Amino acid sequence: MKQKLSVVKIGGNLIEDPEGFEHVLDLFSKMDGNKILVHGGGNKTTEMSQKMGIEPKMINGRRITDADTLDIAIMIYGGLVSKKIVAQLQALGTDAIGMSGADANAIRAHKRPVIKVDFGLVGDVDSVNAYGIFKLLQAGFTPIFCALTHDGKGQLLNTNADTIAAEIAISMSDQFDTTLYYCFEKKGVLQDVEDENSVIHHIDSKGYDELLAYGIISDGMLPKMHNCFHALKNNVSRVCVGNSSMLEAGNPEYTTLTL
Ligand SMILES: Nc1ncnc2c1ncn2[C@@H]1O[C@H](COP(=O)(O)OP(=O)(O)O)[C@@H](O)[C@H]1O
Ligand SMILES: CC(=O)N[C@@H](CCC(=O)OP(=O)(O)O)C(=O)O
């Protein structure tokens, strides 16, 4: 029987809120078994870009990344956010190690081809070094991944953190029985984004098509849902979307997805 692995992605809004940040890392540190954390931080990059006079641009939940924006992303994701998370987890007794896709050649990508939109220095994932990540887990480390990949020729690329989480979960699923958790500030996928009490408890492929058609999912939820189904189609055992409480046993209020 395969060992269990939890891949937990935490979003920018959770990271920005000091209470939410401590709470989610506390729950993550208490999770049993093999685990990997993936973090975003898009809000902070938006804020820093504005401070530096660069107008942020997002299309379908993905950032248009010019060279200056990439530098900001590297500083925010690979530096500020990563190191704060690692330090907090160390304080909680979890032996965390901060990783970008370039470290240990963990995630290779190529620049997203220009079709209708030129996203600039945004990476589409080609491969994940599952064996390298496995060795870190075996050595007792908890890998903490940020939203950066590399092309193997010295170029770092900005990659949506939801995509990173899905690709890591998929690549580890040959060896592990993997659950992918998308943890953000809302209780789950909501029927009405303004109403926290409208959690959709279960979504399958048909339901997903309907939600898309009725415009019930938008913005950052678009790449998240796309990645949920991409993961399920590629051997990830379970995918869940919800707030931090989803990581605690016995909480029914979140969204589970199936094909
Ligand atoms: N149906 C929906 N249910 C919940 N959130 C939704 C929905 N449609 C759009 N959203 C938006 O998607 C956002 C989550 O995407 P994003 O900000 O990228 O997440 P993360 O915090 O994980 O990075 C929510 O804050 C919400 O504004
Ligand atoms: C290409 C792309 O869009 N990259 C994202 C990476 C960070 C991210 O995904 O952060 P959240 O999870 O907090 O949204 C961005 O720069 O916003």
Distance 180 CA to ligand 1 centre (A): 17
Establish whether residue 254 lines the binding site of ligand 1, counting it when its CB lies within 6 angstroms of any ligand atom: no
CATH of 3-257, one of 3.40.1160.10, 3.30.420.40, 3.40.50.300, 3.40.80.10: 3.40.1160.10
Establish whether residue 144 lines the binding site of ligand 1, counting it when its CB lies within 6 angstroms of any ligand atom: no
Q: Which residues contact 142 (CB under 8 A, 6 or more apart)?
A: 35, 36, 37, 89, 94, 95, 96, 97
49 has a pLDDT exceeding 90? yes
Q: What is the largest CA-CA distance in the chain?
A: 54
Which pLDDT score, from 0 to 100, does residue 60 have? 81
Q: Sign of the CA dihedral 145, 147, 152, 155?
A: negative
Distance 101 CA to ligand 2 centre (A): 14
Ligand 2 nearest atom to the CA of residue 41, by list position? 13
* Residue of higher predicted confidence among 186 and 250: 186
42 is in an annotated binding site: yes
Q: What is the pLDDT of residues 184-241, one digit of tens each?
A: 999 999 999 999 999 999 999 999 999 999 999 988 899 899 999 999 999 999 999 9
Which pLDDT score, from 0 to 100, does residue 61 have? 80
61 is in an annotated binding site: no
Establish whether residue 45 lines the binding site of ligand 2, counting it when its CB lies within 6 angstroms of any ligand atom: yes
Q: Sign of the CA dihedral 38, 44, 50, 52?
A: negative
Q: What is the pLDDT of residues 70-119, one digit of tens each?
A: 999 999 999 999 999 999 999 999 999 999 999 999 999 999 999 999 99
The ligand minimizing its distance to the Cα of 46 is 2
Which pLDDT score, from 0 to 100, does residue 38 have? 98
Report the candidate in 119, 145, 124 with the shortest Cα–Cα distance to residue 61. Answer: 119
Distance 119 CA to ligand 1 centre (A): 21
Establish whether residue 218 lines the binding site of ligand 1, counting it when its CB lies within 6 angstroms of any ligand atom: yes
235 is in an annotated binding site: no
131 has a pLDDT exceeding 90? yes
Which pLDDT score, from 0 to 100, does residue 250 have? 85
H helices of the chain, where?
Answer: 12-16, 18-30, 42-51, 67-73, 82-91, 130-138, 161-172, 205-213, 221-233
Distance 164 CA to ligand 1 centre (A): 17
Establish whether residue 128 lines the binding site of ligand 1, counting it when its CB lies within 6 angstroms of any ligand atom: no
pTM above 0.90, yes or no: yes
Establish whether residue 160 lines the binding site of ligand 2, counting it when its CB lies within 6 angstroms of any ligand atom: yes
Portion of the chain with pLDDT greater than 70, in percent: 100
Distance 33 CA to ligand 2 centre (A): 27
Establish whether residue 122 lines the binding site of ligand 2, counting it when its CB lies within 6 angstroms of any ligand atom: yes
Which pLDDT score, from 0 to 100, does residue 252 have? 81
Q: Which residues contact 193 (CB under 8 A, 6 or more apart)?
A: 186, 216, 218
158 is in an annotated binding site: yes
Which pLDDT score, from 0 to 100, does residue 251 have? 81
Establish whether residue 219 lines the binding site of ligand 1, counting it when its CB lies within 6 angstroms of any ligand atom: yes
Break the chain into its structural domains and give their ranges. Answer: 3-257
